[in-house]
Amino acid sequence: MMGWALLADFVPLYPLYALLFTATGLSVAQISALFAIWSAVAVLTEVPSGALADRFSRRSSLVAAGVLQAAGYAAWVLLPGFPGFALGFVLWGFGGSLVSGAKEALLYDGLDAAGAREHYARVAGRVAAMELVAQLPAALAATLLFVAGGFPLVGWVSVGTCLAAAVVAATLPEPPRGDAGAGTGYLATLRSGVTDAVNTPGLPPVLLATAVLTAYDGVEEYFPLLLADWGIPPAAVPLVAVPIVLGGTAGAALGGAAGRLPAWALGLLLGTAMVLLGGAGIAAHPAGVVAIAAFYGGYRAALVVLDARLQERIASASRATVTSVAGLGTELATFGVYVAWAAGGAPLLAAAGLLIAGALPVLLRRRVAGSGAPGVAATRRSEEDARGR
């Protein structure tokens, strides 16, 4: 799955698509409308797409996601203008929702079938690290491709990488699931997954915490602005931001190690990361890039662990749907992140993050398994958590 993650996020168009819109003559209002369309599609399709993965196939969901994303970028190249860009965002938004939930379900249940579910945090962390690593060569490729062939070449190469990711996704192993599609209709699958998300003992608080913490990924959009405000020349911002990406990559890769921490220590890790974020925002000094990189690493490590604890509480049959409910929560909470940043910047977001960090020891105190026999490692974790981890 790591190869798929690298290809899926190696999209040279990522760092340039906003410039494509302005070069085509779109106004700021039109660009904002495109982003609103993208967000609306993501919100509307998030949970239904998770139910599709549970009812039919998680692997097929990843394949379809790559094809839809490729089609979206093709629409941008072939139909440069507001209608074509809007169509592209609709396709991309639906494709992104197909990945959410299906990816985690395919990975967790695959490890479970191999008797290695206790390694989920480590493997998921490496997958997340590959997704971040892909940003670096993609940015370099974007520069070279744009010089060679402008936006059309960048767009068509992005179409190709998305299709390549779909091909790789088609080769991923998917364990047989006796609880999938056995006479259960799509609407019943959707209803069952949403019911599990709300009513499974011990699940809703962890789902909510995961959704809200994942929304902090939205902070990444503000890193360039933060660095520019600190006096770093605009031309140097992409280079100066590289340590931040590397910090997040390292943190995600260490998610497996962080998963062995007691719950109080995980809360301390996340709390320290939030303090670094807030302190960097208050100091407003270029040296704060080190603190931001450390924040991003600690945040990413904690996020991997929280996702793992969420997956432990979900039944296999509804895993993608329930994870998509968390994804829907993230989409909604991200608007709160944007508002908080506008109102108080990094310090305000850090203060809110400290609340999550303080709640983690309570949220992770007890594991309630819904995914079959918990296994030796999971049972041991439950016993340790019950003693106050």
pLDDT computed for residue 384 by the predictor = 39
Confidence of residue 371 (pLDDT cuts 50, 70, 90): very low
Closest CA to 303 of 53, 164, 135, 129: 129
Question: Amino acid identity, residue 139?
Answer: A
pLDDT tens profile 238-290: 788 889 989 999 999 999 999 999 999 999 999 999 999 999 999 999 999 99
Closest by Cα among 302, 202, 298, 311 to 259: 302
Collect all residues with Cβ–Cβ distance below 8 Å to 320 and sequence separation of at least 6: 50, 51, 53, 54, 58, 61, 101, 102, 104, 105, 193
Q: Sign (positive/negative) of CA torsion 375, 378, 382, 387? A: positive
In which band, very low, low, confident or very high, does the pLDDT at 166 lie, cut at 50, 70 and 90?
very high
Among 35-39, 149-153, 182-186, 303-307, the minimum mean pLDDT is found in 182-186
Assess whether the region 1-176 and the region 193-389 belong to the same CATH fold.
Answer: yes
User: Among 300, 305, 143, 129, which residue's Cα sits nearest to residue 219?
Assistant: 300
CATH no. for 1-176: 1.20.1250.20
Domain range list for the chain: 1-176, 193-389
- Judge whether residue 388 has pLDDT over 60: no
pLDDT for res 366: 53
Query: Which CATH number, 3.10.580.10, 3.40.50.880, 1.20.140.10, 1.20.1250.20, labels domain 193-389?
Result: 1.20.1250.20
Percentage of the chain lying above the pLDDT 70 cut: 92
Q: Which pLDDT score is estimated for 139?
A: 84
Q: pLDDT (tens digit, 9 = 90+) per residue, 16-26?
A: 888 899 899 99
Query: What confidence score (pLDDT) does residue 15 get?
Result: 82
For the chain, give the mean pLDDT: 87
Which stretch of DSSP H or E encloses residue 13? none
Quick count: other Cβ atoms within 10 Å of Cβ 363?
A: 19
Taking Cα atoms as reference points, which of 74, 67, 125 lies closest to residue 96? 67
CA 204, 205, 207, 212 dihedral sign is positive
- Determine the Cα–Cα distance for residues 290 and 260; give it in Å rounded to an integer: 26
Lowest mean pLDDT among 81-90, 172-181, 236-245: 172-181
